[in-house]
Homo-oligomer: A and B are copies of this chain.
């Protein structure tokens, strides 16, 4: 059956004004909070006309006239990853609560793509851009990203980075280093001897921060007398792979082959930890009994794995909300907000539990 393709154009402000018998200006003023007030009689007529014509303001036109949209542009690495979904959820909710729309793009963890996305987002003239995800070690692409973001701010936009500090913009930073350090300290003193770290891609700062924090906390706890951590962490192997379940699985296999069975596996991500557990079982090693496993993030949908995964909880949604807050109430100066991490010990590291 052919669809009703009337293409009746949407009612415009013109239409409303004409229908109400007032000027364009008056209609505009009553239909959106202008500073000036309109006589009640006209107001009512305009409102009635708008209702009757089912008028919806053309946001694009408004944006063109005003020079900026009431929108926040979100860039995440992967919306399918619960870590990002949680943060994005916070951003979207806060944006809607603040009367703003949200547009979203996915970079697929590609830094180049991230730069591209910022560039095209700029065309949307959003009030702000929230860039969520790990920064990378590559200085060249970071420089290009910074240029794009600077340009956006020069145009009057507001940039907020969510994840870690380092670039000259407002940022919400999760305390990866301190969280990993605390986790390591807790587990080191609980009695585990040989640890191994399953890290993400080397270029990702988030992976580095977590791995380094862990190594540092581990070294300090094991050799409290020593000053520098470097000598002492040499005995904790670090294996790199992707930031996914599959990555954890793969890294665990490699780790077992290259370094034998450890007492404790620290995966820099819950997703990786779960992959690692699967790989361990496949090798006949039972996580939580034969070997301890810890992750990072405290992903909600992963809280039901067995054994319960020891991890570090991050206030992800809160981070998203805070980012929008910064956009809504922009201050004159660059601000940095550190969000705390909290160690959560569960049965995957039984010695840690007893050590409570």
Contacts and interface: CB of A to CB of B under 8 A. Distances in A.
Interface of A: 1-10, 54, 56-61, 63-64, 67, 69, 71, 78-80, 82, 85-86, 88-89, 92-93, 96, 101-106, 119-120, 122-125, 150-151, 153-156, 245, 271, 274, 277-278, 299-302, 304-306, 317, 332-334
Nearest to A103: B103
Nearest to A158: B3
Given A58-B125, A301-B302, A101 B105 contact: yes
22 contacts: A2-B332, A3-B153, A4-B153, A7-B154, A10-B151, A54-B151, A56-B120, A56-B123, A58-B125, A71-B103, A79-B85, A79-B89, A79-B92, A80-B317, A82-B82, A82-B85, A89-B106, A96-B105, A101-B124, A245-B304, A274-B301, A278-B304
A332 B4 CA distance: 9
Given A3-B333, A103-B104, 10 more contacts: A1-B333, A3-B153, A8-B154, A60-B64, A79-B92, A80-B317, A82-B85, A96-B106, A102-B103, A245-B300
| Oligomer copy total | 2
Contacts of A79: 79, 85, 88-89, 92
Given A89-B79, A101-B103, A102-B104, A333 B2 contact: yes
A37 to B, nearest CB: 24
A288 to B, nearest CB: 11
A60 B154 contact: no
A332 B300 CA distance: 43
A304 B274 contact: yes
